[in-house]
Amino acid sequence: MHEQLSFADVDGGAALFGEVPSRYDDISLFDATLVVVDLETTGGSPVDDRITEIGAVKVRGGEVIGEFATLVDPGMPIPPQIVSLTGITEAMVHDAPRDSEAFLSFLEFARGSILVAHNARFDMGFLRRCAERLHVRWPFPAPLCTVTLARRILSRDEAPSVRLSALAELFDVTVRPTHRALDDARATVEVLHRLLERVGNQGVRTVRELASYRSESASRLAAKRHLGESLPTRPGVYLFRGPTDEVLYVGTAVNLRRRVMSYFSGTDPRRRMSEMVRLATRVDHVECAHGLEAGVRELRLLAAHAPAYNRRSTQPRRGWWLVLSTERFPRLKVSRSPTDQSVGPFSDRMVAASVGDLISVGAGLRTCATTGRGATHHWCRPDSSGRMIGGCRAASPVPVTLTEYAGRVMKARAVMLGDCGDIVERAIAEVSRLATAEMFESAARQRDRTAAMIDTLARCQRLRALCVVAELVVARPHDGGGWELGVIRHGQLASAGLARRGVPPMPVVEALVAGAQTVNPGVGPLCGAPPEEAALIYRWITEPGARIVSASQPLTLPAHGAARRLDWSRLAREARR
């Protein structure tokens, strides 16, 4: 049965419900009438989607005094994924009341109550939209949200998630949520009562006190709000500083004030952040022209200060590189320091060694350490079966002369620079061969090593292409109009600015170039640029809308680079998952 209630004059409904209360009355929680409501809908947008079911439970003094439930004809198709989630089909709502009728029935049921919902913003958005379409004044004060209450009352250790199903499991309630409106409303009632039990001994007695409740930890965070109140609303970098003026944390924001103020709300899921904010005594900031400058400054500040509460980018130059040794018969070695003949960086030494072995196999480079400085040839004999498994990758039945070996070095250097793709193609073919031979474990290992080789080679080759350019000036459209500008020298941001709407950009470009930082190329394939900064700049200049204003030389990727095989690498990673 569907509850139904007719109203002769819909527009007159506003007088029926009176003025909209602007705030909670100071009413006891025991005496307050609460209506816990849950909706099922055709989707997540109150504008484009419609309600398919309303369920509500009225409680007072901890007792259930009434329930309301009705299916609703949304007047539109119900998407298959929603049918799968809720079990509500179009046949079930065929003869149900339309949302206007169901909404007015709900208003009559809930009149004079305080609404409660789990994720109240979602449910109230749909209900308020119904009121707007019917020109009915919204008669309720701000709702209580059990998501907000749970996050304020429960610690993150106790409740890592505040989804209704997770809280129902935590409190072991008798009615479990089923994605049907009345069941979920009943579950929310039990969750609400368990939350009220947690704060009852902390002096929370009224609806107003409950709505404004903050745990002791959240209150300590809120007391630090003054640290961010004077910050500008522009993009930039912020630095939380501790009692001895040490930098605790560095971050970037498109709106400095809004981002920093969010740390004092107590809603950040990272427990370390609450600890950091409690230690903070000051927040410094650096205003930036746009997001790229903010990102680069953040990386440089992280490298300079290595803040205790940042987990990434505090050691931007720390990584592993594959380098060609300077020996008479060179081999690939894993090193902390890059050279001009190197590939990287790798975050894992073992991955670097594995990729080095794969290139050595393809090029025939030695992997032994037996050839001396004055040697005129290299000779590692294969085993009795003629194989070199586990041995030197340059093993051969006859000695290899210096001239012959030089060709192998050139082949390895060519694949590292992207001048030749033969080694990559051979490695991919080997994966197919092993799979065809049903050697699946070996094929999987070869696949993973080959994917790692392609990813690292492609990344290093495109960053090298950027870093060898002495000067590159790039412009990108700014969201508010005008142009974001960057002067890049050898893969590092030398200057940044903004030509606002209506301002001729070229004079701004000329001023930025004239005042840009001097960057001398350093050692290594990236000319000394920190890899993370070069990667950030590369993404910025290759996003849609970016335009090259000027360049000292062409920005070109190698014709036979590993980027041609990135699709294969992506599919290989997906297969591994």
Q: Is 179 annotated in the active site?
A: yes
For 561-570, letters b (16+ CB in 10 Å) and e give bbbbbbebbe
List of residues 6+ apart from 79 with CB closer than 8 A:
42, 43
Do the beta carbons of residue 364 and residue 391 sit within 8 Å?
no
Backbone angles phi, psi at 43, to 5 degrees: 175, -165
Cα 114 vs. chain centroid, distance in angstroms? 36
Q: Where are the alpha helices (DSSP H) in 113-240?
A: 120-134, 146-153, 164-171, 181-199, 207-211, 216-222
Say whether 195 sits in a helix, a strand or coil.
Answer: helix
Say whether 349 sits in a helix, a strand or coil.
Answer: helix
DSSP secondary structure string for all residues of 513-541: HHTPPP----STTTTT--HHHHHHHHHHH
For 405-440, letters b (16+ CB in 10 Å) and e give beebbebbebbbbbebbebbeebbebbeebeeeeee
DSSP strand E in 289-389: where?
320-324, 332-335, 342-346, 377-378
Which two three-digit tokens encode residue 195?
């939350």
> Could you give the CA distance from residue 301 to residue 290 in angstroms, rounded to a whole number?
17
Count the helices and strands in the chain (H runs, E runs).
Answer: 19, 17
Do the beta carbons of residue 247 and residue 241 sit within 8 Å?
yes
Do the beta carbons of residue 484 and residue 478 sit within 8 Å?
yes
- The candidate with the shortest Cα–Cα distance to 449, out of 564, 569, 562, 366, is 569
HSE-CB of 425 using CA atoms within 13 angstroms: 7
What type of residue is 289?
A
Q: Which of 2, 94, 118, 179 is catalytic?
A: 179
List of residues 6+ apart from 110 with CB closer than 8 A:
35, 37, 56, 58, 68, 140
Say whether 323 sits in a helix, a strand or coil.
Answer: strand
Do the beta carbons of residue 10 and residue 98 sit within 8 Å?
no
> Could you give the CA distance from residue 262 to residue 232 in angstroms, rounded to a whole number?
14
Do the beta carbons of residue 54 and residue 37 sit within 8 Å?
yes
Catalytic residue IDs: 179
